[in-house]
Structure 1
Amino acid sequence: MSFHLTTLERAGLLTAQREGRHIRYAVDYGQMKNLLTFLMEDCCGGNPVICGFSEKDTTNLPSPENSRKS
């Protein structure tokens, strides 16, 4: 599991903090939203329902126009 968590950290989707022998991981929600927005735009053509998401699931995601500006 640590291999996968380290890969997600290197991708910028997680942050890690070492506490002695343990490493605590936390999700970077901003980066995760950017990734999901990109995937829905690229895969679903901007229509998240095609990818199996409901309108309710996507109400908090940034719009594709806003994600390009940042």
Structure 2
Amino acid sequence: MRTLTLKISDDYFDKFVAFLEMMPKKSVKIETTSSKKEIGLIQNSIKQAMSDIDAGRSKVIRVVD
């Protein structure tokens, strides 16, 4: 199996997914695009921001509960 990354406009996304679902299950595998690297980067930036706030290096403007 080979990997291909596509960027599809919202107008055609549902039609494209419907087309993929018509194909045999063994021939197409649909995965989400959130890679572990991206998630790790976001986690690290959030941890750094929280430590900056705790250390007083940053001001808290608004807290969302």
TM-score by length of 2: 0.29
Rg comparison, structure with higher value:
2
TM-score by length of 1: 0.27
Higher strand share: 1
